[in-house]
Structure 1
Amino acid sequence: MNTAPEADRDKPRGPTAVSPRTLKRWRRNLADERAEARVYRELAGRRTGEEQQILLALAEAERRHEAHWTELLGDQVGKPLRGHWRTRVLAQLARRLGGVFVLALAQRAEDRSTYGIDVDATPAMAADERIHGEVVRGLATRGRTRMSGTFRAAVFGANDGLVSNLALILGIGASGASNETVLLSGLAGLLAGALSMGAGEFVSVRSQRELLDAGNPSPEASAALPDLDVDANELALVYRARGLSIAEAERRAAEVLASCTLATEIAPRGSHGEHEAVGSAWSAAASSFCFFASGALVPVLPYLLGLEGYTAMLLGAGLVGLALCATGAAVGVLSGASPLARAVRQLTIGYGAAGVTYLLGLAFGAS
């Protein structure tokens, strides 16, 4: 629990007794609370039902924090300040985009709260901010689950396109091949890789969904319910095989026997969530194809614009580096991790792979 120093405890807490720096900090906190409440209201405006109610409740909680700073400032609230630039940008994104990306940014904003070390914030306010972060994390997790299959295919596709085609172009370019050969090789790598990625992602997702479907109860099992020996109650064994405890399995079995409805009752634990996480095979394949093609096009662009030799290779490598940083940062934001760390990781891996291919091209090239 954070407390003010002993010397400060005996001072009057009215605005006239504090320094200009403290007044400025209070006003800044007040502005940030107003800006955060706006973020949640903007997000709530793009949702309905339970999620909207949760976001409005968060906005109301920020209003309580706002009231705390207003009370401390008294008649020295002064001209309203603007919230932190991150929060203001977040509010604009919430108004125009919404979605899991903005929720992930809001989660990071809550995690950055300084109320835990602010002597003028109450322990309840610091605790509120921590809980708010978990609430937003829960909402963001819903969105991540819904988009995870397609997003995974998109990220993998873009990264593979960027790295594989950059490596191909650098390797062939370093070998001394003509500009036309490098360009044709890059375009061929784009088309072949995009088709391969799309087909592979379709087969992968479809196969995974089929494996999950194999665990669903058969229609014949429901038809057999009326003839079960209630004393033996072998239906409880079904639930135990699904992972339930003996007591819970017997309770569920009794409920099912009373209604004679089995199909949804014995679905594997988490099966619906697993299907959502896997996503659609067609959408995953389309995302993988399009994002691989868009990524693979980046290192080819300088050649399409008429550049040649090392100028084209260096420009292509620079564009790929920017794209790798962008995809890495996006993954970092959506996963709640540091965008900078993820961007550096993507860049290091991508340039490492392309650098190896470039050295091989120099070693075995024609010139």
Structure 2
Amino acid sequence: MEAARVPSDSDIRRWRRYLADEQAEGAVYRDLARRRSGEEREILLALAEAEGRHEAHWRQLLGEQVGASRPGALRTRLLGFLARRFGSVFVLALAQRAEARSPYEADLDATNAMAADERIHEEVVRGLAARGRLRMSGTFRAAVFGINDGLVSNLALVLGIGATGVPAVTILFTGLAGLLAGALSMGAGEYVSVRSQRELLEASSPNPETSSALPHLDLEANELTLVYRARGMSPVEAQQHAREVLRGVAAATGAVAVPEDSLASVIDEHEAIGTGISAAVSSFCFFASGALLPVLPYLLGMQGLAAIIVAALLVGLALLGTGAVVGLLSGAPPLKRALRQLAIGFGAAAVTYLLGLVFGTSLG
């Protein structure tokens, strides 16, 4: 019989770290569950219970060497803090990334079931986060587009005009004019875009008045079959479903509404798009807030190269922040998304600045 392996000091330290992380992750799910109800609450509590099973595994391995309780990893503690304060989709997105980083598949001391659990947990949290992402996706898209456009376009405008050598007051008023014009244009454009898309979807929604014709349809000819075939059912499925609907109509004494299941996809698409007003307000406000940063140094009385450097630094930090937020919400690496946002924004601004230098030299 093979003797049990004597754990090394590094094994003990690693197991203790895993134990602390499992305790912290379980607490995160319980904190999130306190802010939820119904099915979402049950799912989160089930995740916390699974983390408790993992915690028990490491306790068993450690035995008498469990030691004093210790805090989990910094990112897990941050997650717990956010869960207690907010409990939003941002926390679920962070939890999704935390589950994806599980080291159990490469660790021989973790069971295959534990590694499989962590894989599945990632998908469970992804599903929970998807609900929040769907609810906020329309407004969020407009907000991210607005702030990024405001940052990049007004920085490019300020740098391009500044490179020509005009007075600081000219740069300031040019930047403010760009802020107002861009924000109004973004708000109006987003409103028209979203309204047009919603109207296009509404044209695909079933007409409620159609239900009044159902009692008069020929059960044998069954024109209703064509409706369901047009919605993607096979001929056999469409015929069966239509016959069931017509039998229900024949047995009823009053008008029968169009089945709700035929509306589901349209409702989901409307929810993902958002409303025209919310999209317009988000675009206006976020464009204005982004476009304000490049002109802020000039509002504070700075000028010349110092103002340009400060404006570029402020916009760079904002681009990194928006890129990181987008990365977190999409479940992608935040740093990679942040650097991509920074490179795109500064690349566009650099081109405009170089053109300003060229025009300033030629005019001089």
Partner of 2:267: 272
TM alignment of 1:204-219, pairs within 5 A = 204-219=193-208
Whole-Å separation in 1 of the counterparts to 2:248 and 2:76? 52
Q: State whether structure 2 residue 47 is matched by structure 1 residue 58.
A: yes
1:263 is displaced (CA, Å) by 2.6
TM alignment of 1:200-349, pairs within 5 A = 200-260=189-249, 261-265=256-260, 267=262, 270-349=265-344
User: What code does the residue aligned with 1:10 have?
Assistant: E
Write the deviation string for residues 211-241 of structure 1: whole angstroms up to 9, x where unpaired.
Answer: 0000011133111000011111121210110
Uncovered stretches (5+) of structure 1, i.e. residues with no partner: 1-8
Whole-Å separation in 2 of the counterparts to 1:266 and 1:137? 25
Partner of 2:252: none
Write the deviation string for residues 100-148 of structure 1: whole angstroms up to 9, x where unpaired.
Answer: 1111110000000011011111100000000000000001111111000
Whole-Å separation in 2 of the counterparts to 1:80 and 1:30? 9
1:272 is displaced (CA, Å) by 1.4
Whole-Å separation in 2 of the counterparts to 1:259 and 1:186? 65
Whole-Å separation in 1 of the counterparts to 2:235 and 2:85? 50
Q: Identify which range, 259-268 or 148-157, moves more after superposition.
A: 259-268
1:266 is displaced (CA, Å) by 6.5
* TM-score normalised by the chain length of structure 2: 0.95
User: What code does the residue aligned with 1:175 have?
Assistant: T
User: What code does the residue aligned with 1:336 have?
Assistant: G
Whole-Å separation in 2 of the counterparts to 1:253 and 1:265? 14
1:265 is displaced (CA, Å) by 4.0
Write the deviation string for residues 250-272 of structure 1: whole angstroms up to 9, x where unpaired.
Answer: 23223322333343447356211
Partner of 1:180: 169
Q: Identify which range, 115-124 or 260-269, moves more after superposition.
A: 260-269
TM alignment of 1:102-121, pairs within 5 A = 102-121=91-110
RMSD: 1.4
Match of 1:350 among 345, 349, 352: 345
Q: Does the CA contact (< 8 Å) of 1:256 and 1:265 recur in 2?
A: no
Q: Does the CA contact (< 8 Å) of 1:332 and 1:342 recur in 2?
A: yes
Question: Tell me, what secondary structure is at the counterpart of 2:204?
Answer: coil
Q: Does the CA contact (< 8 Å) of 1:329 and 1:339 recur in 2?
A: yes
Partner of 1:360: 355
User: What code does the residue aligned with 2:292 have?
Assistant: L
Q: State whether structure 2 residue 163 is matched by structure 1 residue 166.
A: no
Question: Tell me, what secondary structure is at the counterpart of 1:224?
Answer: helix
TM alignment of 1:9-20, pairs within 5 A = 10-13=2-5, 17-20=6-9
Partner of 1:5: none
Whole-Å separation in 2 of the counterparts to 1:77 and 1:286? 54
Q: Does the CA contact (< 8 Å) of 1:174 and 1:362 recur in 2?
A: yes
Fraction of identical pairs, as percent: 68
Write the deviation string for residues 50-74 of structure 1: whole angstroms up to 9, x where unpaired.
Answer: 1111101100111111111111111
Whole-Å separation in 2 of the counterparts to 1:150 and 1:304? 30
Partner of 2:86: 97
1:273 is displaced (CA, Å) by 1.1
1:318 is displaced (CA, Å) by 0.9
**Residues 1:252 and 1:267: Cα distance change in structure 2 (over 3 Å):** same
Partner of 2:68: 79
Match of 1:28 among 17, 20, 36: 17
